[in-house]
Amino acid sequence: MNRVCHSDKEFWFSPEERVDFYLNNQASFNISLKRYEEVKNSTSWNQREMKLVSYADYENTFTHWYCRHIVHLPRVRSIRVLPLFKSYKDLHSLMNFFLPFDRIGKEHSSVKYPFFYGEAGDTDEIPCIRKSRRADDQTSVIFNFRSLRLTTPCEAATKHDIPWEQKKNNVIWRGATTGQEQRVQFVKQYFNRYDVGFATTKQKPHLDHLRKEKVSIKDQLQYKFIVSLEGNDVASNLRWVLSSNSVPIMTKPYWQSWIMEDRLEPNVHYLELNKDLSNLNELLHWARNNDEACKKIALNGKKYMSQFLDLDNDLPVQKMVLDEYAKRLTYNN
């Protein structure tokens, strides 16, 4: 593991290792345009989510201006369908895509990058660029898409956090009913024992009896331990929990995104739930008897996340990913 090992950067990875990770360790990307169109048109979902995108196509357009100056504004970024564009998540992704070109340089700005805007979805081994991939996906490429949803909450965590010693020695989880049955199983198992419940059940209204009041990031940070559970893909709270003085409790990550979840180490960056979620009581019992060790785990998480939150460090890596992808990409008919 090629880490940058000095001071508070002991969990930082070198730019080269990060680029290899995001590019799925692929030396080349060969895309048949005929096959691409077949896969794109195979489902209505792929028709919406797959697109060939170049910076040059958008440069100096209204969409480019809108992404640079409007999308990130607090009163705009939470709107689910933004004006003059089909979907907020597409604009959020384009905002991230434009940034390295706008800040660093226009090399490869005319390259058509194959995007997949959605979360879960099969592109049949076409090496699309997306915000997350499954652990067994050996094709897809990861880019820092949707940072407004996934990374911006880290600012709130930093602003509202309190010292470890002032936190409640207990656990909390709130989330939606998205994803597979893991979240449902967890809430059913611990709803009556801990501060665990669904904040919304709109996807599965029959689970409304397992709903509890919403809890802000600020109030969740009153707890030493915050559960992080994957939904449709990555756990949306993991980044801000890692960037806080609290400890994530989670299963071994199955999904990978820009923060390289599978490089997180149990008992170093988080406490690991069993796959069947049965050991939360045991984890909390151990934690209450090992307070200093848990405080160190929280600190390690902050060190780990800092490499992705430091724009001076992270933005050049984003540009390197786009540049290296472009260099390794060939299209054929």
**Where are the chain's structural domains?**
14-148+312-332, 153-309
Question: How many residues are listed for the chain in this entry?
Answer: 333
Residue 316: CA atoms inside 13 Å, Cβ hemisphere, count? 7
Closest CA to 256 of 234, 238, 279, 273: 234
The set of residues, in sequence order, having a beta carbon less than 8 Å from that of 267 and lying 6+ positions away, is 297
Residue type, 91: L
The set of residues, in sequence order, having a beta carbon less than 8 Å from that of 214 and lying 6+ positions away, is 174, 199, 200
Residue 147 to residue 140: CA distance in whole angstroms: 19
pLDDT at residue 232 in the model: 87
pLDDT at residue 82 in the model: 55
Tens digits of residue pLDDT in 64-74: 999 999 888 88
For residue 98 the two structure tokens come to 């434009």
pLDDT at residue 202 in the model: 83
The yes or no reply on domain 153-309 and CATH 3.40.50.2000 is: yes
Mean pLDDT taken over the chain: 93
Tens digits of residue pLDDT in 156-194: 999 999 999 999 999 999 999 987 789 999 999 999 999
pLDDT at residue 81 in the model: 54
% of the chain beyond a pLDDT of 90: 82
pLDDT at residue 1 in the model: 47
Intervals of the chain under pLDDT 50: 1, 4-5
Judged by DSSP in three states, 10 sits in coil
